[in-house]
Amino acid sequence: MTPQFRLDGKRALVTGAGRGIGRAVAEALAGAGAEVTLAARSAPELEAAVEHIRAAGGMAHALPLDVTDTAACRAALAGRPAFHVLVNNAGTNRPKPLAEVTEEDLDAVMRLNLHSVILLTREVTGRMLAEGVAGSVITMSSQMGHVGAANRTLYCASKWAIEGFTKALAVELGPQGIRVNTICPTFIETPMTAPFFEDPAFRADVLKKIKLGRLGQPSDITGAAIFLASDASALMTGSALMLDGGWTAD
């Protein structure tokens, strides 16, 4: 039988969904039939994204939320039915040499990229277990969760940790039918990465390492997200889906 890529009847939660990769993924999941809740700190961005999805005939809701606030996350999820899909997309980066890294840098990167992912995933999967939902957890990792790079000690540390967390949780939740995977993009052109690419030397160095010869776009991520959210990936858990343009091939 042809694998089913549709998400009709599924409820999905996407964090960092106001712009960039998160918004693109939320729009794609809605386009595949899911009822999508978009979470981010910026209410105006969320409302714009929700309006766009609804105008296209999709089902979407805005959830203004700081995912690093554990109590707020718990309160926001209280009373809601279990989600079938969680996309942990919110993240940040503070690239600099280790000698210049401050404790505030360490706290900011780890709290958003790792701490919040673990605790939100705990809340969402706990509800899945309580309601007997066989769901899918998708975390936006990175090619930097598989290799190293100068000036990215914090970012690499957070993403390597996410890869380990994903494998361990896949083992833990597999018997209950909850799948846990990551998507590992190369450099994607988004509002967060735009300032980095204003440096011609940095842009050229990045393009040299991407074998396909171009930067990624948010739309390059959406197919993978639909795949992992849907029954098309029913036998996939504990895996990292590489969308790195060949960066890690050598």
What does the DSSP assignment read for 185-215?
E--B-STTTTTGGGSHHHHHHHHHH-TTSS-
Domains annotated for the chain, with CATH where assigned, are 11-239 (3.40.50.720)
CA distance 28 to 31: 5
pLDDT per residue rounded down to tens, the chain (250 residues)? 777 999 999 999 999 999 999 999 999 999 999 999 999 999 999 999 999 999 999 999 999 999 999 999 999 999 899 999 999 999 999 999 999 999 999 999 999 999 999 999 999 999 999 999 999 999 999 999 999 999 999 999 999 999 999 999 999 999 999 999 999 999 999 888 889 899 999 999 999 999 999 999 999 999 999 999 999 999 999 999 999 999 999 9
Active centre residues (catalytic): 155
pTM: 0.96
SS3 of 216, please?
strand
